[in-house]
Amino acid sequence: MEYIYASLLLYKAGKEINEENIKKVLEAAGIQVDEVRVKSLVAALKNIDIAKVLEQALAAPVAAVPAAPAAQAPAEEEKKEEEKKEEEEEEEETVSEEELAEGLGALFG
């Protein structure tokens, strides 16, 4: 992941994405550089238009927005479960008060 971040940082800075620059970025971050990974990354990025990929990546979250209402359903279910738990706790408290009153009555006969 850090190799990809290094290449994106170089792209954003307007620098050439090559082995030497990626190594410099990774070393500056304190990351031990794997030469094979650097070479394969540079080779893979030669045929990729990073601007186009970033544009597509930024457009992707917009498509995910309609999925948000589906996330509300679990929240509503959680509210219902909390209400049920509160009702059960109230019932338990009522029962425990009745038991307490019976216990006191038995003491004084």
Whether residue 17 contacts residue 5, with contact meaning beta carbons closer than 8 Å, is answered with no
**pLDDT value for 19:** 93
Q: Are 42 and 14 in contact (CB under 8 A)?
A: no
The one-letter code for the residue type at 64 is: A
pLDDT score, position 38: 93
Q: Is the dihedral of CA 13, 14, 17, 19 positive or negative?
A: negative
Per-residue model confidence as pLDDT tens digits over 19-75: 999 999 999 999 999 999 999 989 988 888 888 888 888 887 655 555 555 555 566
CATH for the stretch 1-59:
1.10.10.1410
Distance CA(63)–CA(90), nearest Å, equals 44
Sketch the domain layout of the chain as residue ranges.
1-59
Whole-model pTM: value is: 0.52
Task: Return the number of other C-beta atoms located less than 10 Å from residue 17's C-beta.
Answer: 19
Between CA 23 and CA 20 the distance in angstroms is: 5
